[in-house]
Amino acid sequence: MLGIVTLIVLVFLGISRAIPQKMITKEAPTPTATPSIQIGDTTIPVELAKTPAELERGLSYRTSLDRDKGMLFIFEKSGFYKFWMPHMNFPLDVLWIDENKRIVSINEHVPPLEDISKPIYYEPTQPALYVLEVNANFSKKYNIKIGDQLIFQNIDN
């Protein structure tokens, strides 16, 4: 009889230890959706710059930007924000976007700044809430123009 009780206790302990282990299974992390912008038939995966540090640094110091990708700068309110290209290593197209998500201005093929003691500033012709930087010639390649409507996907602003 003592052997049966011991066996039952051991089985019970084995089951009670197995249950918590099964209950503590780790689920695979849910992949976060990539932020992107759609302009007509063109979808552009974007990195976001929102914090003061991200807005200041932008794409500076990088050697390149992946082809057909961009960086979206998100400001707190619309304005005539000035951009310059210190410590850039490649040219860009800069698209200025208003609060209605329409392109209001485009600076094509903006070169890296050669001498930071002589800054060259770029700004929109109308107030902008967002700025999208893409590789130079992107606008021509995809026929992007002033007035185009953008659709933001997976972007909280």
CATH code of the domain containing 70: 2.60.120.1140
pTM for this model (two decimals): 0.79
Beta strands in the chain, from DSSP E residues, in sequence order: 36-39, 42-49, 70-79, 92-97, 103-110, 128-135, 150-153
Domain extent, residue 104, equals 36-153
Structural domain includes residue 70 = yes
pLDDT along the chain (157 residues), means of 10: 46 42 46 89 97 96 96 98 95 98 98 94 97 98 98 91
Residue 1's pLDDT is what? 53
Structural domain includes residue 123 = yes
Structural domain includes residue 125 = yes
Structural domain includes residue 99 = yes
Q: How many domains does the chain have?
A: 1
- Reduced to 3 states (helix: H, G, I; strand: E, B; else coil), residue 150 is strand
Structural domain includes residue 140 = yes
Structural domain includes residue 18 = no
Structural domain includes residue 15 = no
- Pairing label, strands 92-97, 42-49: unpaired
Residue 27's pLDDT is what? 55
Residue 156's pLDDT is what? 85
Structural domain includes residue 13 = no
First to last CA, the chain: 71
